[in-house]
């Protein structure tokens, strides 16, 4: 008979053995249920987007004080997460998972990819090799800017939106030159949910998920509005954080040699870069 992790072989506690840890046994969890309300729905999708946008560092159903093993890195808590959040089993909890939760909630899909036995409960057997979507062929993203008075509407587009379901966009700007209008930052395609984080001056994070994946062909994606501050005469530059910006949780990524600085004070300029 196996020991219980600090006691005797028959299950009793040996008083002579110091008890330094607790052995936790995970039996079941509900895929996608992150607030512990016994269902996976729009609230859980919203929590995932907030997690991806670094607005929260844990989930209500898995609080840090009760589940410290899920969040071993207090400096970068978003690198680790409860298994229940990774509903497509790609080792990332992000916008794709939020999109899948929304799709199931709307009865567009029956089961999550990670739920291999299709009973809604985990853990399940690991997915077979090759089950997770492979990286896509090269695509091109472009940025255009529309100037209206002292406001700049920065529009992000892609030449082929096939299977695009989620997006995290991280923009760096000079807060002494412009401010971000979070209320007018939005998806340019229907049926999307978006969460923004502008808590750190000069850094704007957008995390979004779509109710269903986009199809083949070019598509608008996201529009971000910036407002010029008074008495600013220099060029206004917005840069894309290439390391943190991801499409489909990294299955489509910005190339390292991409052009990623946008001069919004030159509204006729169009910038393009390759993604892969």
| Domain boundary assignment for the chain | 29-122, 139-275
Name the band, by pLDDT with cuts 50, 70 and 90, for residue 10.
Answer: very low
pLDDT digits (tens, 9 = 90+) for 44-62: 999 999 999 988 888 998 8
CA neighbours closer than 13 Å in the CB half-sphere of residue 208: 25
Give the range with max mean pLDDT: 23-27, 211-215, 218-222.
218-222
Over the stretch 145-161, which tens digit does the pLDDT of each residue have? Answer: 888 888 989 888 888 88
Please state the rounded mean pLDDT for residues 9-21.
38
Phi-psi region of 221 (alpha: psi -120 to 50; beta: other; left: phi over 0): alpha
On the question of pLDDT at 266 being above 90, the answer is no
Q: By the 8 A CB rule, do 59 and 85 touch?
A: yes
Backbone angles phi, psi at 149, to 5 degrees: 65, -125
Measured between alpha carbons, how far is residue 252 from residues 42, 175, 193 in Å?
25, 29, 19
pLDDT above 90 covers a percentage of the chain that reads 32
Asked if the model's pLDDT at residue 129 lies above 60, the reply is no
CA pair distance 44, 31, nearest whole angstrom: 10
Give the closest residue to 189 by CA, choosing from 145, 224, 221. 221
H-only helix segments in the chain: 42-52, 95-105
Hey, how many other C-beta atoms are within 10 angstroms of the C-beta on 32? 27
Statement: residue 228 has pLDDT above 60:
yes
Contacts of 22 (CB under 8 A, 6+ apart): 5
pLDDT of residue 253: 59
Q: Which CATH number fits domain 139-275: 2.60.120.260, 3.90.850.10, 3.20.20.80, 2.60.40.680?
A: 2.60.40.680
Q: What pTM value is reported for the model?
A: 0.72
Predicted local confidence at residue 184, as pLDDT: 92
CA 41 to chain centre: 16
Q: Which two structure tokens, joined as six digits, stand for 24? A: 């936790």
Mean pLDDT, residues 249-257 = 62
Fold matches, 29-122 and 139-275: no
Our separate counts of H helices and E strands in the chain read 2, 14
pLDDT tens digit string along 155-192? 888 888 888 889 888 899 999 999 999 999 999 998 89
Which of 266, 249, 247 shows the shortest CA–CA distance to 154? 266
Q: Is the pLDDT confidence value at 128 over 80?
A: no
CATH architecture of 29-122: Orthogonal Bundle (1.10)
* Range of lowest pLDDT (81-85, 128-132, 220-224): 128-132
Quick one: average pLDDT of 208-224? 91
The pLDDT of residue 100 is above 60 = yes
């Amino acid at each position: 008979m196996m020991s219980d992790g600090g006691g005797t072989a028959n299950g009793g506690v040996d008083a002579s053995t110091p008890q330094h840890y607790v052995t936790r046994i995970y039996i079941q969890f509900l895929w996608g249920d992150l607030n512990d309300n016994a269902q996976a729905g729009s609230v859980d999708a919203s929590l995932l987007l907030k997690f991806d946008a670094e607005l929260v560092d844990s989930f209500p159903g898995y609080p840090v004080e009760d589940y410290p093993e899920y969040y071993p890195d207090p400096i970068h808590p978003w690198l680790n997460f409860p298994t229940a959040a990774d509903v497509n089993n790609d080792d990332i909890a992000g916008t794709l998972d939020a999109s899948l939760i929304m799709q199931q909630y709307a009865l567009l899909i029956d089961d999550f990819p990670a739920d291999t036995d299709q009973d809604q409960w985990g853990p399940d057997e690991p997915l077979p090799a090759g089950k997770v979507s492979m990286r896509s062929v090269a695509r091109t993203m472009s940025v255009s800017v529309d100037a209206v008075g002292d406001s700049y509407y920065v529009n992000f587009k892609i030449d082929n939106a096939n299977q695009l379901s989620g997006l995290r966009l991280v923009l760096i700007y000079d807060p002494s030159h412009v401010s971000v209008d979070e209320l007018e930052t939005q998806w340019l395609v229907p049926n999307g949910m978006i969460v923004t984080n502008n808590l750190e001056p000069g850094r704007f994070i957008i995390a979004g998920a779509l109710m269903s994946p986009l199809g083949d062909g070019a598509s608008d994606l996201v529009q971000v509005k910036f407002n010029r501050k008074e008495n600013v005469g220099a060029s206004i530059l917005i840069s894309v954080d290439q390391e943190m910006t991801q499409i489909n949780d990294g299955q489509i990524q910005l190339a390292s040699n991409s052009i990623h600085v946008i001069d919004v004070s030159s509204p006729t300029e169009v910038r393009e870069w390759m993604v892969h």
